[in-house]
Each structure stands twice: as C-alpha cells, then as structure tokens.
Chain A
Amino acid sequence: MTYSAGHIWLIIGVLGLGTFLIRFSFLGIIGDRDMPPWLLRHLRYTAVAILPALITPLVLWPQATGGQPDPARLGAAAVALAVGYLTRNAIWAIITGMGALYLLLALLGQTGSAVV
C-alpha cells in the first residue's frame, strides 16, 4: 500500500468513529422510538448484501495463486458455505472450511501460500 502514516490513521480514526456511531445510533441517540419499516427492511439485508460481494472475487481469483481460480480454494469455500448454511454455526463452517482446504491442497499436491 502507498498510504502515508497520517493517511492510515485518518482511515482508522474515521472507521472507528463511524463504527461506534452506527453501534450507538439507536441505543444511545434515537432510543426506542420506532424506525420506519422500510429502513429496518433494508438494514436486515446489509450483511448478506455486502459480504458476498466482497468474498466473490477473493474466492474466484485468489491472490495466493496469482489470481488464477484454484480448485482447492473453490472446494473449501463451497464446504464452508454449505456447512454454515446447514448447521447455522459459524464455528463449524470455519473448522470444516479450513479442514477441506488443507485436505484438498494435500490431495492436489499443492502447498499453501503466505500471501495474505
């Protein structure tokens, strides 16, 4: 990355403040007054709307393989998603997902990569 130290702290500071204000919003400022239903309706989907958009390129074009689709990582992603969906449990999804990744990397004779 090519940001200056001041620039990095600006990002950290704004994100820290913004995140706190989001968390504090209703509990601290607005209280238990009713929110418009359309707003609640949209907020319900924020996580499932942004996380898949973030994950998709990471899964399809992993940096570790130089942006080439990788069967081991695709398989591991499918396992993590399926287990998370079926068990409703993030912990099992992570354990089986990473387990599948190591297994597939071993089966395919690949080594991992330190690139994060």
Chain B
Amino acid sequence: MSAASTKSAYWQGLRAGLPFILVVAPFGLVFGVAGTDAGLNLIEVMGFTVLVIAGAAQFTALHMMTENSPTIVIIISALAVNLRMAMYSASLAPYLGQAPLWQRALVSYLNFDQNYALSIQEYDLRPERPLGQKIAYYFGAVTPIAPLWILSTFLGAHLGTVIPPGFALDFAVPIAFLALVGPALRTVPHVVAAFTSVVMALLFASMPYNLGIIFAAIIAMMVGAEVERRMETKR
C-alpha cells in the first residue's frame, strides 16, 4: 500500500463526510443550549460531549435528568439508545479486526451513525482495499464530524441564553430524532418495531421514572425481531 493512496482514501472519506456538517453542527449547538438551560455548567456539558460523544444518548440522558429520573433508569435508557452500536462494531470487525488495538479503540470511540454508514458502504463496495486505506477512509469520514460536534456544543453552551425563542429550538431535538428514525424504517419489521414502540410508549406513559421508555423499547425490539423471523420462515 502506498502512502499516496492512503492519503487519498483519507480525503475521499473526508469529502463523503462533509455534508453531515449540516446535521452535526445544529445538533451540537442544541445540546449545548439544552445542557446549560437544564442547569449543567460548561465543564459538565463538555464532559458529556467529549466522554459520551453520542448525540442521541446525550439528549436522552439530559432529558431524563431534567425530569429527575433515577440514575439507573437514565443510564439504561441512554445506553439502550447506543446499543445499535454493538451491531456497528460487529459489522466493522471483519474489515478492521486486524488493525492495531489503539486504532480499533480510536475507531470505536469515534463510531457515529454517519461515518459508520459511509465506511461500511465503502468496505462493501471495495473489500479488496488494504487495511490501511480502510482505516484512512474511516478517519477521513469522521474528521468533519467529531471535532465539529465538540465545537458546536461548546458554542451552544455559550450562546444558550442569546438564541431568541423564535427559533423554537425546543423542538430541534424531536426533529433530529425523527430524522434518524425516518431513514431507518427500511423494512416491514423496522416499521412494525417503530410503531410498537410508539404504542407501548403511550400505554406506559404513566409509569414512574420514565421506565415506560425502557419497557416500550424492549417489547418493540422483540416484536421487530419476531416479525423478521416469521417473514424469513415464510419465504
């Protein structure tokens, strides 16, 4: 593998990741605003963003913290939001499993929906590329995303009180979550799982400590898996 092609793989990944700036920047900004509004100080907001570095999970935790949910429920819910990443991790393993441990650790820390989706698409398309180029592409794709997430959160935490109410940023979080769900409704089982999740969330809405969200998710996950299994056996 030549250094030049590794470099070009990096740039190729970077170009592919660029459009996600449009999602990451507002999402980070809103987390910064929401975090300071909820009563976190700047260091706590940044601690979230740097250590957890997973938008949807951060919003989940923050939302539940504003409702004073018990710690264990907050942690289970936020980690449940991230469980899909175990699947990402599993699907990257055949392609990147031979990389040095520090690279695999860094890949794991920086595993977001967007650059994961880009990278796995690229690996499926060109599995013959050497490992070094695969890694370079991955870090290229994450380059416009991760630093911007941290920076925009920081700006949001500072701008928090300056953004006028007219921007209705209260609803940016539900919109951003919906924007993740829409494209994820790829198959019938996905749609059924999502629908189950909504119905169960309403049924369990009165449960204390937001526990209903966890139960709704578990049932929806099982329903999705079961629908998929039945569709397979029918075929």
Q: Which residues of A contact B (CB under 8 A)?
A: 1-3, 5, 7-16, 18-20, 22-28, 30-32, 35, 38, 40-60, 62-64, 73, 76-77, 80-91, 93-95, 97-98, 101-102, 105, 111-116
Contacts and interface: CB of A to CB of B under 8 A. Distances in A.
Contacts of B170: 62-64, 112-116
Contact of A15 (B52, B168, B182): B52
B87 A46 contact: yes
Contacts, number: 315
Contacts of A101: 168, 171, 175
B200 interface: yes
B48 to A, nearest CB: 6
8 contacts: A9-B47, A19-B52, A42-B225, A45-B193, A49-B218, A51-B81, A53-B216, A91-B179
B107 to A, nearest CB: 6
A35 B83 CA distance: 15
A26 B93 contact: yes
A19 B85 contact: yes
B93 A31 contact: yes
Given A25-B86, A42-B225, A94-B26, A102 B168 contact: yes
